[in-house]
């Protein structure tokens, strides 16, 4: 297994604001990693550093390259979809495919055309005539048709309806991901990608508050629903966060054996969204 991204003590400041504050992590090949954080947490700045769009302090390697100094080489094996697909509105679909075929050596036009056959996007249509969902389908078809090792998705399904969102991730898994390529996703729609992820990172105020494998989360975290005296007794195990739901306490514990909590109520592994809230709000408290 090779390392796709290696980040050590990454920092990026804008004036007095530490957008990324001493962040270290590693993304291995064949993984689907989620980078979760609220607005202003540092996600976009970190992605820009990975893509070579901004410099930073610390040690950052992407596909064995310095993304800021060797960006041209890096772009041969990395693809990116942002929350707004930046495609020229005046261009026809066929002309866009002509252009991509000319500039990118790893682009398969035949694959892109095959993928577009499953959509309502026609070769003669101009980008400005397409709906947001169709533009996303066009962008995705182009990206998937490029034989790249690393795919970065930054809020790729914002503004799309649930059917488009489901199809988007289904197409990613069926047409791009092969167990060797690597995907990094940032999104606020955490519930929709939870079952896709192999790894997850939480970032808040420029710092990582969690970096874990999905398969390890049940052993690290447990959520307890309890009430009354049992809830009070469970507090001695120091939950990192708790809140009320229909008169009962929902407590999130980190590093506590489940066997120690079974007598107090119902246990489960917290969903990613709930765990994120617990880690972020718990730290703030």
Provide the CATH number for the domain around residue 122: 3.40.50.300
Scanning the structure block, which residue is given the tokens 């992820």? 197
231 in the same domain as 176: no
Q: Which comes out higher in pLDDT, residue 95 or 172?
A: 95
Phi, psi of 27 (to 5 degrees): -120, 120
Domain boundary among 205, 227, 248: 205
Q: 226 and 199, same structural domain?
A: no
Question: pTM for this one?
Answer: 0.89
Domain ends where: 177, 205, 233? 205
Q: What is the mean pLDDT of residues 184-209?
A: 91
115 in the same domain as 241: no
Residue 151: which of 55, 32, 64 has the closest Cα? Answer: 32
In a domain, 41, yes or no: yes
Q: What is the mean pLDDT of residues 171-190?
A: 87
In a domain, 165, yes or no: yes
Residue 282 has pLDDT above 80, yes or no: no
Q: Name 204's bridge partners.
A: 207
pLDDT, one tens digit per residue, over 221-262 is 999 999 999 999 999 999 999 999 888 999 999 999 999 999
Residues 175 and 82 in one domain: yes
pLDDT of amino acid 283:
65
Whether 264 is in a domain gets the answer: yes
In a domain, 210, yes or no: no
| Res 57 pLDDT > 90 | yes
Instruction: Judge whether 252 and 239 are in contact, CB under 8 Å.
Output: yes
42 found inside a domain: yes
In a shared domain, residues 111 and 146? yes
Q: Which domain holds residue 187?
A: 3-205
Closest to 114 in 3D by CA, of 131, 130, 97: 97
Whether 31 and 165 share a structural domain: yes
- Is the pLDDT reported for residue 39 higher than 80? yes
Q: How confident is the model at residue 270 (pLDDT cuts 50, 70, 90)?
A: very high
Q: How many domains does the chain have?
A: 2
Are residues 232 and 165 part of one domain? Answer: no
Q: What integer is the mean pLDDT of 178-187?
A: 90
At 79-107, the pLDDT tens digits run 888 766 578 889 999 999 999 999 888 89
Check residue 166 and give its pLDDT.
85
pLDDT at position 168 is 83
- Looking at the fold, whether 115 and 226 belong to one and the same domain comes out as no
Over residues 123-149, mean pLDDT: 90
Within a domain: 262: yes
Shared domain for 260 and 170, answered yes or no, is: no
Shared domain for 27 and 152, answered yes or no, is yes
Residues 163, 224 share a domain: no
- 196 and 160 within one domain: yes
| Vertex 156: Cα angle to 25 and 118 (nearest 5) | 130
The answer to whether residue 136 sits within a structural domain is yes
């Amino acid at each position: 297994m090779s390392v796709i991204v290696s980040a050590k003590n990454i920092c990026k400041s804008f004036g007095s604001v530490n957008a990324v504050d001493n962040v270290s992590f590693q993304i291995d090949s064949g993984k689907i990693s989620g980078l979760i954080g609220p607005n202003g947490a540092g996600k976009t700045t970190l992605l820009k550093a990975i893509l070579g769009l901004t410099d930073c302090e610390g040690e950052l390697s992407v596909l064995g390259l310095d993304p800021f100094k060797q960006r041209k080489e890096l772009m041969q094996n990395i693809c990116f979809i942002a929350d707004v697909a930046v495609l020229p509105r005046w261009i026809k679909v066929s002309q866009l495919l002509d252009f991509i075929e000319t500039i990118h050596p790893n682009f398969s036009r035949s694959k892109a055309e095959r993928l577009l056959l499953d959509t309502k996007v026609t070769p003669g249509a101009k980008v400005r005539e397409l709906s947001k969902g169709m533009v996303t389908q066009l962008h995705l078809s182009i990206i998937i048709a490029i034989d790249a090792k690393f795919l970065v998705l930054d809020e790729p399904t914002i503004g799309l309806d649930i059917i488009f969102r489901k199809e988007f991730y289904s197409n990613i898994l069926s047409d791009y991901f092969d167990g060797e390529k690597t995907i990094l996703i940032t999104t606020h729609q955490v519930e929709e990608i939870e079952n896709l992820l192999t790894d997850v990172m939480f970032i808040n105020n420029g710092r990582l508050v969690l970096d874990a494998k999905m398969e390890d989360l049940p052993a690290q975290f447990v959520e307890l629903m309890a009430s009354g005296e049992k809830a009070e007794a469970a507090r001695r195990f120091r939950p990192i966060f708790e809140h009320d739901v229909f008169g009962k306490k929902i407590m999130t514990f980190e590093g506590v054996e489940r066997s120690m909590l079974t007598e107090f109520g119902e246990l489960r592994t917290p969903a990613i969204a709930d765990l994120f809230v617990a880690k972020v709000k718990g730290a703030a408290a």
